[in-house]
Each structure stands twice: as structure tokens, then as C-alpha cells.
Amino acid sequence: MAVLVAKRTVSGFSCWRSSALSLRGTLGRSARDAARLPSLVPGCVGHRRLHTEEPVEVDFRRLDGKDEGIIEVLMCRHKARNALGHVFVSQMRELMTTLSCDSAVRVVILRSLVPGVFCAGADLKERALMNHTESDLFVHSLRSLMTQIATLPSPTIAAIDGVALGGGLEVALACDLRTAAYSAQMGLIETTRGLLPGAGGSQRLPRTVGITLAKELIFTGRRVGGQEALDMGLVNRAVEQNQAGDAAYREALSLAREILPQAPIAVRMAKEAMNRGMEVDIGSAMAIERMCYAQVIPTRDRQEGMAAFIEKRPPRYTGE
């Protein structure tokens, strides 16, 4: 398996890749080339698999046509309800590294192909076999995965069509935006298991819903449905579940389509400015905004946006 490395910069990511295997190249293939790839994924039919020796628990799909630029990350560990085990986390981390280096990605949607479940959280069967050191190292790997999701250059949307508990909610919290079905159940339930959220939940939940409400939810381990999650600002949009069980995904796709026409470099830099600015004082945040703004000034997209405004036509952004 190739080793891919990403280095963070102000303008996004600079990437290097191994010549042994380029997953980025796979992501960037044309539809004709992709059709020649031999492997299909059990449970994720029609989608290309990332690994040849492991069971596929995380896959992806590149949308085309009017939705070109949208990538769907498909969680499909059916037997374990997308529990965060070694293989699942490894495959998700590899895919996140790949997506961070792909400039063709405009929006990323994380969704589950397991009915009624977004992600059930920790794989307690695997965790029970770990000693203290192994458990600590694995939780560190989980924390790194959440950071990878959070620092993807493009906007990310979690489509919560079912249960998102513990680490499952931490995955969703690492995304920029969240949609949920009213019937979904969300919660950081670690205190009911003698633990606390260890993959970013204790930090990202307060930043999302406020410190006092986050303390209540974490101290009690309480679960909330889609409507309550919307009311408290945990999710951006909530909808009635449909017969197919994918209403939150449909809403996430609608939201992605609203983002898609916008200038991609500007969107990436806006995300960078907000994410980095939230962690510092207002003066430093203004300096970060200035640096990010400077990145979009010389782009062709900025020139196209101005020209489209003057000519009273829709802009045609290319990400350059």
C-alpha cells in the first residue's frame, strides 16, 4: 500500500505521493477509465474499491454531469454498523489523505450505506482485546482521522440518516455541515461507558452548540433526535425521513449543489479563514483573513466573477 503525505500550507495543501500506487490518480480518472477498473465492492455495488486485500468498509463515488465535483464517501461496514474498527479507520484515513490532494474535489458528502445507521461509534469488540497502550494508540489514530476530516480543504457535509453515537457523532462533528433525518439519534454517550469523548467530541461539540449545552449532553450521555439537534444548532438542516431511508443524504446533496457553483478557491479560503480564525484572538483572526483573501486576488476565478457581474451572466468558475 502506498504512503501518501500531505503538508498543510496557508493556501491549502501541498501534496506528495508515492509512485507505487496513486489513489489520487484513481480518483481523477475519467468515467471511461473508471469503468475498466475490475473490482466492485460487495454492499457498495458499482463503486470502485480502495483496497484489494481487505474487506471494503469505506468506499467513494465521484458524481458526474451537473454534480461533477461532488465526492461521496460511502461507509459500508454492514455487519458492524460502521463501527470504528482498525480496517474502517485505516481506509477512511487513506481516503481523506487522497481527497486532500485532489483539486477537482469541490464538496465532500459523508454518508452511510447501512440502513438506519450513520456510524455506531467505537468497535467495542475490537477495543476489548486491546491493552492500555494499544487502546491509547488507537484512540490517537481516531483523533488524527477526525483532524483529517476537519482539515480537508473543501467543504464537508455529514448526512445523518440514522444512529450517530460516540465516535460516530465525532465523525459528523468533524465535518463542516450536517444534515439529519428527524428520526436520527445522535449523542456523545461515552460517560455511560465509563469514558469521555476522546476523538475530538469534547472540543468540537462545545464549539458547535455552546459550552453549557455541550456539558449537559456529555455529562448525561443524552441522545437527541433530528429536530432537537436542529434546534440546538448541532445540525444545519433536518428533514422527515423518506421510504428509502436516505432523506438526510438527499438534503446533503441539495446543500452540496448550492455550494458547487461558487468559486472553489474562494470557498476553500473562506473555510481556511473561518477554521483558523476560530482558534485565535480577533486581531490574529483578521490577519488570517487578510492572508486568505490575498490568495484569491490573483485567481482567474476572481476575474471571471467580476466579468460575469458586469456582463450580467452566471459565472463559469474553473478553480484557477
Placement of cell 461533477 in the chain:
68
Pick the catalytic residue from 57, 72, 126, 170: 170
Cell of 261: 457553483
Exactly one of 6, 122, 174, 229 is catalytic; name it: 122
Furthest-apart CA pair in the chain: how many Å? 65
CA 233 to centroid of chain Cα atoms: 18
Q: How far from chain centre, in Å, is Cα 296?
A: 24
| CA distance linking residue 197 with residue 191, whole number of Å | 8
Partnered with residue 107 across adjacent β-strands are 70
Handedness of CA 197, 202, 203, 206 (dihedral sign): positive
69 vs 260: CA distance, rounded Å: 7
Please, what is the Cα angle at 156 between 151 and 161, to 5 degrees?
135
Grid cell digits, residue 143: 483523533
| Selected catalytic residue, list 12, 69, 166, 167 | 167
Distances (CA, A) of 197 to 41, 184, 283, 298: 32, 20, 31, 43
Residue 122 is among the residues annotated as catalytic for this protein: yes
* CA dihedral of 180, 183, 188, 190, whole degrees rounded to 10: -150
d(CA 81, CA 226): 19
221 tagged catalytic: no
In this structure, the strands spanning 177-181 and 156-160 are parallel
Q: Report the Cα–Cα distance between both ends of the chain, in Å, rounded.
A: 32
The residue annotated as part of the active site, out of 190, 229, 263, 266, is 190
170 is a catalytic site residue: yes
- In this structure, are residues 252 and 176 in contact, taking their beta carbons and an 8 Å threshold? no
Question: Cα(52)–Cα(18) distance, rounded to whole angstroms?
Answer: 18
Looking at the annotation, which residues are catalytic? Answer: 122, 167, 170, 190
